[in-house]
Amino acid sequence: MKNKVLFIVTIIVVFLLGLLASSIVNRKSEAKYKYTPSVNIAENEPRNEVWGENFPLEYQSSLQTLDTSFASMQGGSAMRDVLEEDPNLVILFAGYGFSKDYNQGRGHAYAIEDIHNTLRTGGPKGKGDGPMPATCWTCKSPDVPRLMNEIGIAEFYSGKWADKGEEVVNPIGCADCHDSKTMKLRISRPALVEAFDAMGKDINNATHNEMRSLVCAQCHVEYYFDKKLPGKEGVPYLKFPWKDGMTVEAMENYYDNLEFKDWTHKISKAPMLKAQHPGYETFTTGVHADRGVSCADCHMPYKSEGGQKFTDHHIQSPLNNTSNACQVCHREESNKLIANVYERQRKATENRLKLEKLLVAAHLEAKKCWDLGAAEAQMKPILNDIRHGQWRWDYSAAAHGASFHSPVETARVIGSGLVIAQEARVKLARLLAELGHNKPIDMPNISTKEKAQEYIGLDIDNLKKEKTEFKKNLLPKWLEKAKEREDKMSINTVSSAIE
């Protein structure tokens, strides 16, 4: 009887092993022919669905960036009005476009639509020719490397934002990061290559793992527009301020030595710096980067479908995908991991808001000094402190994930900002006393976005009207012209943009 049972068990085991072997052979066979090209992808092909013919799993996963349902404590893909959540930002950005409109970015699929919609790109009578230069398209579309190749880098940067509206139409996608022939990761934006050159580094020596972060660093970085390059004077040429390093102090010194400013603050008249989104710079100072973890490991982790392992191109917050993004390395439960992230973010936000309030008060007190007749020589050291204090606040806030990517460095930056902002207010108190004002200034009511915008003199109703005219008059013309070039334009993009 025993032998009979053993025989039956052996047969079952052999049968199951046979099924397993057959499955492995089939999967290997599938993998061998999975990426047999269906179409030839041209160099700088901007249409993501064309790439999707050869890489359907990656393409289909990239379409999930259309999902705007996830919101974390301070991120996610859901649309959020940052100015409504924190009206103090209207004061901090007075005189700059972010005081008009500041929405959290959604997924990559909305890159074109969101820049069409923001009030920062509006213009008189619907022309869309507001203050933003054409350079502002640089990180929005795979049409950018195509255009740079066709007309030249400096020519792409030249002119107004509206000048290239009919050409930059496809949302962020494949050609931004991949070579069309080899599918290897590539750098398609010259600013990153030029920044490495300025640091004395050759980006061609980057490893594959480093490239899994560097393709993100093409855009998720601090940058500025240099209008003084020899031979390119007047062209807002995109540059990264990394020549002396990527720390908050190194970039600040770089800007100070250039006497560069993004704008003059409308209230305090301080020469301000706007931190764009120094995500890569802050990431490099954190423990994950130190351990060799790349951006893609967490924001684009591997997944399997139909026996095929591939990189998930649903680029999103790891908190919406902890099983693949976090628990590959960390053994804690998902709720615990998310709680750890939120704890770090709350602690950083607590001190960042303290710094924010000091800066708001400093801007308003500086205005009072000017109103009382302060001289430029008296104000210069104070305005420099405001510039440096807000640069640190913005560096920690605009990097979005900085409080998780690098909580220790973020705490250090905010701490130094608090010291600088407090010193500015001490100097302001002394100057106000010299000017005969010995009591706290009257603070305006800036409790809502609308009240703060009214205080700084913004006519939001008119800006919204201009934006409506732009979307009614100019935007349809852009899209109609784009549709005529079907070899460059995704029909899906046209439909979503018109809607």
Confidence band, pLDDT 50/70/90 cuts, at residue 400: confident
pTM attached to this predicted model:
0.90
Q: Write the pLDDT tens digit of every residue in 269-303.
A: 999 999 999 999 999 999 999 999 999 999 999 99
- Count of positions (residues) in the chain: 499
pLDDT digits (tens, 9 = 90+) for 432-466: 999 999 999 999 999 999 999 999 999 999 999 99
Instruction: Provide mean pLDDT across the span 93-116.
Output: 94
**What would the two tokens of residue 293 be?**
């973890």
> Is residue 495 pLDDT above 60, yes or no?
no
Q: 409: Cβ–Cβ under 8 A, 6 or more apart, which residues?
A: 282, 285, 286, 402
Q: What is the mean pLDDT of the chain?
A: 91
> What pLDDT was estimated at residue 342?
96
CB 166 within 8 A of CB 66: no
Q: What is the CA radius of gyration of the chain?
A: 26
For 237, the 3-state DSSP assignment is strand
302-305 and 271-272 strand pairing: unpaired
Instruction: Please give the Cα distance from 286 to 198 (Å, whole number).
Output: 23
Q: Say whether 225 sits in a helix, a strand or coil.
A: strand
Minimum mean pLDDT range among 24-28, 33-37, 97-101, 354-358: 24-28
Select from 352, 342, 356 the least CA-distant residue to 404.
Answer: 342
Q: Is 87 in contact with 98 (CB distance < 8 Å)? A: no
Helix, strand, coil share of the chain (percent; to 5): 60, 5, 35
Buried-state track 301-322, b at ≥16 Cβ within 10 A, e below 16: bebeeeeeebbbbbbbbbbbbb
Residues 335 and 361: their CA atoms lie apart, in Å, by: 39
Which residues, including other chains, have CB under 8 Å from residue 29's CB and lie 6 or more apart?
none
The Cα–Cα gap between 373 and 438 comes to: 15
Q: For residues 55 and 376, give the distance between their C-alpha atoms in angstroms, rounded to a whole number.
A: 61
What confidence tens digit (pLDDT) does each residue in 338-357 have?
999 999 999 999 999 999 99
